[in-house]
C-alpha cells in the first residue's frame, strides 16, 4: 500500500482521541505546544536525535515520525485537561530525551545510551540484547548453552556465541528464560499503522467524571511512572504503591530522574506477602478510579488480582496495563524494556548488511508509551467509561513509526556550532537532550502509608490529597 501522507501533530492528536472513543475537541493552539514543524525538524529539536547514530559520526534521523507522534500525544493530553497549566506548556518531544539529560547520556551506536542493551549480530540478522540486571547476566550460560571463557566479559561472551544460530532461535529460547530480547525486523514497505491501544471489557461509571481522578500507580521504571506523573499534571490524586520486598527499581537509579517521574505522588508501601498487606492492597484498588500497572499479567494473577474483575461490576474503573509486547497470548509472558521493544518495532538505524545498526534515542519506547498511555487512561475516565486498556511498548512504537511516509529533501550538515537538519521549510539545529524541572523530591518510600490507609478506610473521606 502507498505510504501515508505526512500528518501534522494535530492530525495525530485527533486520531489518538478517536481511537479512545472521544469526539474531536478543540486542540490547544499554543505555538509552544505545536510549533508546526515537520517530522525531521521535530526530531532535531527533540533532543533524541543527538542520542541517535554512531558515537564518532553524525546524528541520524529517526526511521519514522517519533518526535511528531510525541508532540501529537501531548496535544491530545492537553485537550483532555484544558484546566492544567502544566499540560498547556508540555513539550512532548523533549520527553524522549529526559533521562539522557538527567544522566548525561550520549549516542553510542550499537550500544544503547543507557548501556544496558546492545545490538549484536546473530547468524541472519541483529538482536537487541538487554541485560540491565545482574540476574540477566547470570542467565547467559543457560541461554547460550555455552560456558564463558575464564574472565570473559558477558558482552564478549554473547558476541562470540550469537553468530552460531538465527535470531528467531535466540529470541525464542531467551524469552522462555525471561530475557528481554528482540530481533531487528527486515525492512518492509510502509505498513498500515498498528493499533496502539486494545480496549478490553469495562462498564460505564455511575456518576459524572471528576477533574481529579484517583489514580493508583503500581508501575515501575519509566513508561508507567511517566503516565501517572502526567495524570497528576492533569489534576489527578496519585498514590504510588510499592511492595516492601520489591520497590520500584528506579529508586536505585539516578535520583533526579526518579524525582522527575514521581514527585507529587504520595507513597504507600505494603507487605504483599502478608494477609493484612493484601487486604490493604484490595482497599486501595477499590479506592482507585484509574489503576496504572506495568507487570506481566501472571504477576498480578499470582497475587490473586484480576484486572478483568476489577473493571466489571459497574465500577467504571479504568485499568491501564503497560507491557513490553501486550497482554494477550504468548507475548503476555515476554519481558520487554524500552530499548529492546523499540528495536523489535523497527526503531533502529541501519547502515547496510554488515555494518552494525544504531539505537534510535534512549529507550525511546518508554516515553512514547507513557504519553500515549496517559491519553488513553484520561480519555476513558473523562468519557465515563471504565475499561481494561492494553498498551504495549512495541505496539505504540510501531504505530508511531508508521504514522507518516518518508520526508524527502532532508539533509544533515555539520556546522561550527554542531549539527543541523536542512528541510524544505528551513534549518533546525540538532538540540541536546533537555528535561523538565522537577516538582521537587519524590516522597520517601512509604512516607504516606499510615495517613492514606487510614483515609481510604473511611468511605466518606472526601479525598486524600496532601
Higher pLDDT, 224 or 31: 224
Alpha-carbon distance of 135 to 215, in angstroms, equals: 32
**Which of the four pLDDT bands, split at 50, 70 and 90, describes residue 465?**
very low
Average pLDDT over residues 283-310: 91
- Could you give the residue ranges of the DSSP H alpha helices within 166-222? 167-177
Phi and psi torsions of 172, nearest 5° = -60, -45
**Which of the four pLDDT bands, split at 50, 70 and 90, describes residue 460?**
very low
Under DSSP, the state recorded for 331 is G
Q: Please say if the pLDDT value at position 73 is more than 50.
A: yes
In angstroms, how far is CA 264 from the centroid of its own chain? 20
Average pLDDT over residues 42-71: 96
Alpha-carbon distance of 391 to 187, in angstroms, equals: 24
Inter-helix orientation angle 449-456/275-287, to 10°: 60
Give the Cβ contact number of residue 191 at 10 Å: 13
Three cell numbers written together for 46: 527533540
Mean pLDDT of the chain: 91
Higher pLDDT, 222 or 416: 222
Q: Identify each DSSP E strand in 315-462 by its residue range.
A: 318-323, 348-349, 358-359, 387-392, 411-415, 418-423, 426-429
Q: Please say if the pLDDT value at position 69 is more than 70.
A: yes
Alpha-carbon distance of 315 to 287, in angstroms, equals: 10
Q: Please say if the pLDDT value at position 81 is more than 90.
A: yes
Average pLDDT over residues 124-142: 96
Biggest CA-to-CA distance, the chain: 66
* Most confident option among 18-27, 116-125, 344-353: 116-125
Q: Please say if the pLDDT value at position 104 is more than 80.
A: yes
Q: What is the pLDDT of residues 189-246, one digit of tens each?
A: 655 667 999 999 888 887 777 778 999 999 999 999 999 999 999 999 999 999 999 9
- Specify the pLDDT at position 132: 92
- Specify the pLDDT at position 462: 35
Average pLDDT over residues 404-432: 90
- Specify the pLDDT at position 22: 87
- Specify the pLDDT at position 463: 42
Q: Please say if the pLDDT value at position 113 is more than 80.
A: yes
**Mean pLDDT lowest among 101-110, 219-228, 354-363, 403-412:** 403-412
**Which of the four pLDDT bands, split at 50, 70 and 90, describes residue 315?**
confident
> Domains in the chain, ordered, with CATH?
9-109+189-456 (3.40.50.10540), 117-183 (no CATH)
Sheet strand arrangement including 117-121:
117-121, 126-130, 180-183
- Specify the pLDDT at position 174: 97
Average pLDDT over residues 319-337: 94
Phi and psi torsions of 87, nearest 5° = -75, -25
Q: What is the pLDDT of residues 374-398, one digit of tens each?
A: 999 999 999 888 999 999 999 999 9
Which run of H or of E encompasses 17? helix 9-19
- Judge whether 348 and 110 are in contact, CB under 8 Å: no
Alpha-carbon distance of 219 to 197, in angstroms, equals: 18
Burial of residue 466 (number of CB atoms within 10 Å: 0-12, 13-18, 19+): exposed
- Judge whether 326 and 392 are in contact, CB under 8 Å: yes
Alpha-carbon distance of 425 to 423, in angstroms, equals: 5
Q: Please say if the pLDDT value at position 129 is more than 70.
A: yes
DSSP lists the bridge partners of residue 412 as 421
- Judge whether 452 and 464 are in contact, CB under 8 Å: yes
Buried b (16+ CB within 10 A) or exposed e, 405-444: bebeebebeeeeeebebbbeeeebebbebbbbebbeebbe
Give the Cβ contact number of residue 6 at 10 Å: 17
- Specify the pLDDT at position 3: 46
Please state the length of the chain: 466
**Which of the four pLDDT bands, split at 50, 70 and 90, describes residue 415?**
confident
**Which of the four pLDDT bands, split at 50, 70 and 90, describes residue 325?**
very high
**Which of the four pLDDT bands, split at 50, 70 and 90, describes residue 5?**
low
**Which of the four pLDDT bands, split at 50, 70 and 90, describes residue 461?**
very low
Q: Which residues contact 329 (CB under 8 A, 6 or more apart)?
A: none
Alpha-carbon distance of 207 to 284, in angstroms, equals: 20
Q: Please say if the pLDDT value at position 344 is more than 80.
A: yes
Average pLDDT over residues 166-180: 97
Inter-helix orientation angle 9-19/66-80, to 10°: 60
How wide is the angle at C-alpha 127 spanned by C-alphas 124 and 131, nearest 5°? 150
Q: Please say if the pLDDT value at position 140 is more than 80.
A: yes
- Specify the pLDDT at position 201: 86
Burial of residue 462 (number of CB atoms within 10 Å: 0-12, 13-18, 19+): exposed
- Specify the pLDDT at position 192: 62
Q: What is the pTM of this model?
A: 0.94
Alpha-carbon distance of 15 to 291, in angstroms, equals: 24
Alpha-carbon distance of 367 to 94, in angstroms, equals: 10
- Specify the pLDDT at position 2: 45
Amino acid at each position: 500500500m502507498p505510504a501515508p501522507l505526512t500528518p501534522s501533530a494535530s492530525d495525530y492528536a485527533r486520531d489518538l482521541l478517536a481511537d479512545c472513543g472521544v469526539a474531536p475537541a478543540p486542540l490547544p493552539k499554543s505555538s509552544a505546544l505545536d510549533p508546526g514543524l515537520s517530522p525531521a525538524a521535530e526530531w532535531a529539536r527533540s533532543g533524541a536525535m543527538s542520542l541517535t547514530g554512531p558515537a564518532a559520526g553524525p546524528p541520524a534521523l529517526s526511521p519514522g515520525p517519533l518526535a511528531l507522534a510525541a508532540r501529537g500525544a501531548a496535544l491530545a493530553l492537553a485537550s483532555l485537561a484544558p484546566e492544567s497549566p502544566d499540560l498547556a506548556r508540555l513539550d512532548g518531544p523533549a520527553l524522549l530525551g529526559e533521562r539522557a539529560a538527567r544522566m548525561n547520556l550520549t549516542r553510542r551506536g550499537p550500544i544503547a545510551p543507557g548501556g544496558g542493551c546492545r545490538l549484536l549480530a546473530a547468524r541472519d540478522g541483529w538482536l537487541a540484547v538487554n541485560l540491565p540486571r545482574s540476574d540477566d547476566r547470570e542467565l547467559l550460560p543457560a541461554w547460550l548453552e555455552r560456558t564463558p571463557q575464564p574472565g570473559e566479559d558477558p558482552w564478549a561472551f554473547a558476541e562470540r556465541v550469537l553468530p552460531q544460530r538465527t535470531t528467531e532461535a535466540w529470541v525464542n529460547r531467551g524469552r522462555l528464560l525471561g530475557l528481554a530480547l528482540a530481533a531487528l525486523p527486515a525492512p518492509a514497505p510502509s505498513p498500515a499503522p498498528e493499533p496502539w491501544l486494545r480496549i478490553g471489557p469495562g462498564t460505564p461509571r455511575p456518576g459524572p467524571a471528576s477533574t481529579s481522578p484517583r489514580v493508583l500507580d503500581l508501575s515501575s521504571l519509566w513508561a508507567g511512572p511517566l503516565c501517572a506523573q502526567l495524570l497528576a499534571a492533569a489534576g489527578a490524586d496519585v498514590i504510588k504503591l510499592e511492595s516492601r520486598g520489591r520497590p520500584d527499581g528506579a529508586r536505585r537509579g539516578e535520583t533526579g530522574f526518579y524525582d522527575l517521574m514521581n514527585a507529587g505522588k504520595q507513597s504507600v508501601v505494603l507487605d504483599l506477602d502478608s494477609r493484612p498487606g493484601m487486604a490493604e492492597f484490595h482497599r486501595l484498588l477499590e479506592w482507585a478510579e484509574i489503576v496504572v500497572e506495568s507487570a506481566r499479567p501472571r504477576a498480578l494473577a499470582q497475587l490473586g488480582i484480576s484486572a478483568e474483575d476489577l473493571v466489571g461490576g459497574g465500577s467504571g474503573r479504568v485499568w491501564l496495563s503497560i507491557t513490553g509486547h501486550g497482554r494477550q497470548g504468548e507475548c503476555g509472558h515476554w519481558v520487554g524494556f524500552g530499548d529492546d521493544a523499540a528495536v523489535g518495532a523497527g526503531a533502529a538505524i541501519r547502515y547496510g548488511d554488515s555494518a552494525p545498526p544504531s539505537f534510535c534515542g534512549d529507550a525511546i519506547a518508554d516515553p512514547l508509551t507513557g504519553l500515549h498511555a496517559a491519553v488513553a487512561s484520561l480519555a476513558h475516565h473523562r468519557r465515563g467509561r471504565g475499561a481494561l486498556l492494553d498498551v504495549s511498548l512495541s505496539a505504540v512504537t510501531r504505530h508511531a513509526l508508521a504514522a507518516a511516509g518518508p520526508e524527502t529533501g532532508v539533509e544533515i550538515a555539520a556546522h561550527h556550532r554542531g549539527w543541523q537538519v536542512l528541510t524544505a521549510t528551513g534549518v533546525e539545529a540538532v538540540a541536546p537532550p533537555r528535561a523538565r524541572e522537577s516538582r521537587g523530591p519524590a516522597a520517601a518510600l512509604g512516607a504516606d502509608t499510615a495517613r492514606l490507609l487510614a483515609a481510604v478506610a473511611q468511605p466518606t473521606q472526601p479525598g486524600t490529597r496532601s
